[in-house]
Amino acid sequence: MTKKIFAVEDNDTNYMLVEEILSDYNIELVRAVNGKDFFNKIKKRPVEFDLILMDLMLPDTDGIELTKYLINEKYNIPIIFISAYTERCEEIFDMGIEYFINKPVMPELFISIVKKHISLEAINQEA
């Protein structure tokens, strides 16, 4: 069964890395590049997402504000923060977010944390 992951990431290189890491799994990756894009997509497809990958710094807002919105509106979607900015980790953990992955993303660590939230089904590949 395909899992749907919502990646809130404005940087193309970082997004492509996540896309590459997840390419071996049966994942539909949906991207938002800023707060406006996030709101447009989450309001259209709220129940479809199994996991959100949240960047901290975005061009028009920050991931903490977007996460507060999700919590206040009672979206029950697990969130993993991914950012190079570690100075706001405590604020993130105080909201109940369990995982903060520091950039650059280490593939093995990333996959192990994603698997704590959703089951990943590998795409059939020849051995």
pLDDT in tens, 1-56: 899 999 999 999 999 999 999 999 999 999 999 999 999 999 887 668 999 999 99
CATH number at 3-117: 3.40.50.2300
Integer CA distances (angstroms), 74 to 6, 66, 69, 111, in order: 17, 12, 8, 26
Q: Where are the domains of the chain?
A: 3-117
Q: What is the pLDDT of residue 16?
A: 96
Contact criterion met (CB below 8 Å) for 29 and 18: yes
CA distance 121 to 26: 6
pLDDT in tens, 61-110: 999 999 999 999 999 899 999 998 889 999 999 999 999 999 989 999 99
Work out the number of other CB atoms within 10 angstroms of the CB of residue 90: 9
